[in-house]
């Protein structure tokens, strides 16, 4: 759930001991309990809850992450950090009580209001610097100074006349998208409650059960240890949602297992990093991004996690294909059983994972709010733990509450601080401008737009945590992507001649030079070119008129899901690939070679978003979704075989090219004949491969070298 992938190393964090540790645990547990209680029985307003939420975590962040790291203990530095954290917390709380007085004065800030606002904003900037580095603080400073000062000197479409500093300060605190606005609301409700839920699962022993379950299911198969990593990381991701946390927790078990089985070190580490990256796209929790997506799109959270299931399964299958193919390429044999059976795994700790997760999904499907489902899920974890060998008593409950709070520190401060950037983007209209630029640069071509978003995601991901990267990208580019995806319906209407008279009139008036083209038959290329180059004032009303609401909603969800998936790539893409580097350290493998390997294994992060754009994989029509899924499974297997040069046996470059062509054909949208031809190609290659046609000698297992 947290963006631990961007947290400083644990050695740089301050550790509490003795009475201080006890006091901190008590405060953290009470703070978490207060959020749970307020979720069921609201006692403060939404704005107050968000501000109190930031205040508590600002104090904890100031304690855990000092102004600068010192090797020895520094009581002076500790007192300075506690004073700073206290001032930031008091300022945030004060601003909740000052709101009515500010409005009564005609939105004028008093000197004390100025001081509190300044401390709160500077506190958010400084604490974010301590937690994530300089990128987000720099963005905040640039954003606030843009609307307050230098935006008026920028020429062209990004010129902004500027606001008074009083307006900037007021909007930064009290705006709908500001520091204590929409994104802080997501943090103080959905995200924190599910992080607490994850902490209870971990404290109940669910993490150990996941490893035992994965080993019982896949341990004895060809490439079993790698498949264990895929299954364990996917299920652990349901709890943590952090690629690095996933890698560190499951990798210490799965990576040595894979090396022992004969996988090369860099491949073992790459499998773990790629599998762990899938944690944040794995329902039912999907990390903080799913909650932000629900808020941005106004699509129910339960709808998002329901349609996200097949794409997530597709991603993990893609990694599993690479694992099995590599095992076959190296002629690795299944490992001997360790005595753990599926029944034993469930009896030992299955109840504390299966029952709460099942209840959570059931409540979401039944229409209960995610906050209610999370609270009931936490109660279910406690109750079901008594059916396992690790029952949770009062102390364990307090420890789980405190753990949830500690795990939330980075995310809470980050999401509140990012609100300052998002507020400027919406205030200045930068999002619409950037969307127009994407539409213009891509010329209406969705694939080019996807490449642009992927590049922007990779660049942002080098300095931003995954959730922040998604928020910024979604604010900037989601409208353009959604519009281009919805335009496909209009293009189809132009080609098949079903365009309505009113829509044709809009086009004739808006683009009179295309009148002759509109009166006759039109090819798909001509229609795409016409719609792709329409000005916004023509394209927007045309979409409103022509595109049914359900298709508009599906396009919006597809756009956000594309950005959400692409925002994960920084975990495994060089040069900054923190999940890969973490796995490389565990495997004692070269860091950059591991990053390249994990990037290759995580190809699903790039393939599946293309399916979001061009197919009904997220439409909610399960017949169409399963059809796309089935073709995609075969297609990704063919592409994986081409990358590895092997199916059941190694083969040469000619068959690799054929496998890639067949796999790509399976993924080809909107032409069932090409897809069927692709399936036939991949299946025929597999049959020939099994029959030993065109095979080569397997390579020596590099992983056996030590």
At 409 the pLDDT is 92
At 558 the pLDDT is 94
The pair of three-digit structure tokens given for residue 643, joined into one six-digit string? 């990358």
The pair of three-digit structure tokens given for residue 411, joined into one six-digit string? 């995310």
d(CA 188, CA 387): 31
Q: How many CB atoms lie within 10 A of CB 399?
A: 18
d(CA 358, CA 485): 34
Contacts of 91 (CB under 8 A, 6+ apart): 115, 116, 117, 119, 120, 123
3-state secondary structure string across 154-180 = CCHHHCCCCCCHHHHHHHHHHCCCCCC
| pTM of the predicted model as reported, rounded to 2 decimal places | 0.82
Give strand pairing partners of 650.
646
At 394 the pLDDT is 94
Q: Which letter, b or e, does each residue of 176-190 get, where b requires 16 or more Cβ atoms within 10 Å of its Cβ?
A: ebbbbbbbbbbbbbb
Bond preceding residue 175 cis, omega within 30 of 0: no
d(CA 490, CA 504): 11
d(CA 188, CA 180): 10
Q: How close are the terminal C-alpha atoms of the chain, in Å? A: 35
The pair of three-digit structure tokens given for residue 540, joined into one six-digit string? 């927007």
At 305 the pLDDT is 85
Give strand pairing partners of 695.
651
At 706 the pLDDT is 33
d(CA 536, CA 533): 9
Do residues 563 and 473 touch, judged by C-beta distance below 8 A? yes
Q: Tell the residue number behind the tokens 């190809």, with chain if given.
A: 603
Q: Tell the residue number behind the tokens 């509109």, with chain if given.
A: 518
At 694 the pLDDT is 63
User: Which residue intervals of 105-133 are DSSP H helices?
Assistant: 111-132
At 246 the pLDDT is 76
Sign for the CA dihedral angle at 676, 681, 684, 689 comes to negative
d(CA 414, CA 410): 6
Bond preceding residue 170 cis, omega within 30 of 0: no
Q: Tell the residue number behind the tokens 């990267």, with chain if given.
A: 469
Under the phi-then-psi rule, with left for phi > 0, alpha for psi from -120 to 50, and beta for the rest, what region is 181? beta
Q: Give whole-number Cα distances, 524 to 171, 490, 496, 521, in Å.
A: 46, 11, 9, 10
d(CA 189, CA 381): 19
d(CA 115, CA 127): 18
373-431 pLDDT, tens digit per residue, is 889 999 999 999 998 888 999 999 999 999 999 989 988 998 899 899 989 988 888 87
DSSP calls for 265-304: HHHHHHHHHHHHHGGGG-TTT-HHHHHHHHHHH---HHHH
What size, in residues, is the chain?
Answer: 706
At 662 the pLDDT is 96
At 598 the pLDDT is 92
Q: Tell the residue number behind the tokens 């990208």, with chain if given.
A: 473
Backbone angles phi, psi at 650, to 5 degrees: -65, 150
Q: Give whole-number Cα distances, 269 to 254, 345, 368, 605, in Å.
A: 9, 25, 40, 18
* Best CA proximity match to 580, nearest among 562, 560, 561, 605: 605
The CA angle 152-157-159, to the nearest 5 degrees, is 5
Residue 140: CA count within 13 A, CB half-sphere? 27
| Residues of the chain under the 50 pLDDT cut | 1-11, 702-706
The CA angle 660-678-454, to the nearest 5 degrees, is 55
* Best CA proximity match to 612, nearest among 238, 295, 314: 314
Do residues 182 and 176 touch, judged by C-beta distance below 8 A? yes
At 1 the pLDDT is 47
């Amino acid at each position: 759930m947290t963006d631990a992938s961007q947290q400083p190393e644990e050695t740089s964090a301050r550790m509490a001991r003795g009475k201080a540790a006890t006091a901190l645990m008590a405060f953290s547990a009470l703070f978490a309990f207060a959020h749970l209680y307020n979720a069921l029985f609201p006692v403060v307003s939404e704005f107050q809850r968000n501000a109190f939420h930031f205040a508590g975590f600002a104090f904890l962040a100031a304690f855990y992450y000092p102004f600068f790291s010192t090797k020895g203990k520094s009581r002076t530095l500790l007192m300075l950090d506690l004073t700073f954290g206290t001032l930031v917390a008091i300022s945030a709380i004060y601003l909740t009580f000052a709101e009515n007085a500010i409005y009564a004065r005609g939105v004028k800030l008093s000197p004390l209001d100025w001081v509190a606002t300044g401390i709160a904003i500077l506190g958010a900037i400084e604490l974010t610097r301590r937690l994530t580095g300089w990128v987000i603080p720099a963005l905040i400073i640039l954003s606030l100074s843009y609307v307050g000062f230098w935006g008026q000197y920028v020429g062209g479409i990004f010129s902004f006349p500027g606001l008074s500093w009083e307006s900037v300060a007021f909007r930064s605190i009290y705006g709908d998208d500001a520091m204590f606005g929409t994104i802080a609301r997501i943090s103080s409700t959905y995200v924190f409650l599910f992080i607490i839920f994850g902490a209870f699962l971990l404290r109940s022993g669910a993490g150990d059960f996941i490893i035992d379950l994965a080993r019982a299911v896949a341990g004895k198969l060809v490439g079993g240890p790698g498949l264990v990593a895929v299954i364990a990381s996917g299920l652990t991701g349901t709890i943590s949602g952090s690629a690095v946390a996933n890698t560190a927790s499951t990798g210490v078990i799965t990576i040595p297992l894979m090396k022992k089985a004969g996988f090369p070190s860099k491949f073992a580490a790459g499998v773990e990093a790629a599998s762990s990256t899938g944690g944040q796209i794995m329902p039912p929790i999907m990390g903080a991004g799913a909650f932000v997506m629900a808020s941005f799109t106004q699509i129910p959270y339960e709808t998002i996690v329901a349609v996200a299931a097949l794409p997530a399964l597709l991603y993990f299958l893609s990694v599993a294909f690479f694992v099995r193919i590599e095992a076959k390429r190296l002629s690795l044999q299944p490992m001997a059983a360790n005595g753990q059976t599926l029944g034993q795994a469930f009896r030992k700790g299955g109840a504390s994972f299966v029952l709460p997760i099942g209840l959570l999904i059931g409540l979401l499907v039944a229409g209960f709010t995610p906050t209610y489902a999370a609270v009931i899920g936490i109660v279910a974890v406690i109750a079901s733990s008594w059916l396992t060998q690790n029952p949770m008593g009062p102390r364990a409950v307090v420890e789980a509450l405190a753990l949830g709070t500690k795990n939330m520190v980075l995310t809470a401060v980050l999401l509140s601080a990012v609100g300052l950037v998002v507020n400027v983007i919406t205030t200045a209209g930068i999002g619409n401008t950037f969307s127009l630029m994407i539409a213009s640069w891509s010329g209406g071509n969705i694939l080019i737009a996807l490449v642009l978003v992927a590049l922007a995601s990779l660049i942002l991901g080098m300095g931003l945590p995954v959730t922040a990267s998604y928020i910024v990208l979604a604010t900037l580019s989601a409208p353009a992507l959604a519009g281009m995806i919805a335009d496909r319906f209009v293009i189809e209407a132009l080609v098949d001649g079903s365009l309505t008279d009113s829509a044709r009139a809009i086009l004739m008036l808006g683009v009179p030079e295309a009148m002759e083209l509109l009166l006759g038959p039109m090819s798909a290329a001509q229609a795409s070119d016409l719609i792709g180059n329409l000005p916004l004032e023509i394209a927007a009303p045309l979409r409103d008129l022509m595109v049914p609401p359900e298709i508009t909603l599906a396009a919006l969800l597809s756009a956000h899901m594309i950005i959400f998936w692409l925002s994960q790539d920084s975990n495994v893409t060089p040069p900054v690939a923190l999940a890969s580097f973490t796995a490389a350290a565990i495997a004692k493998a070269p860091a950059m070679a591991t990053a390249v390997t994990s990037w290759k294994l995580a190809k699903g992060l790039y393939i599946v978003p293309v399916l979001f754009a061009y197919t009904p994989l997220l439409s909610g029509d399960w017949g169409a979704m399963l059809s796309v899924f089935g073709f995609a499974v075969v297609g990704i297997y063919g592409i994986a075989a081409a990358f590895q040069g092997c199916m059941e046996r190694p083969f040469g470059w000619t068959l690799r090219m054929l496998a890639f062509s067949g796999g790509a054909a399976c993924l080809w949208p909107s032409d069932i004949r090409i897809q069927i031809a692709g399936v036939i190609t991949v299946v025929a290659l597999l049959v020939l491969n099994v029959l030993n046609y065109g095979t080569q000698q397997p390579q020596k297992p590099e992983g056996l070298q030590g």
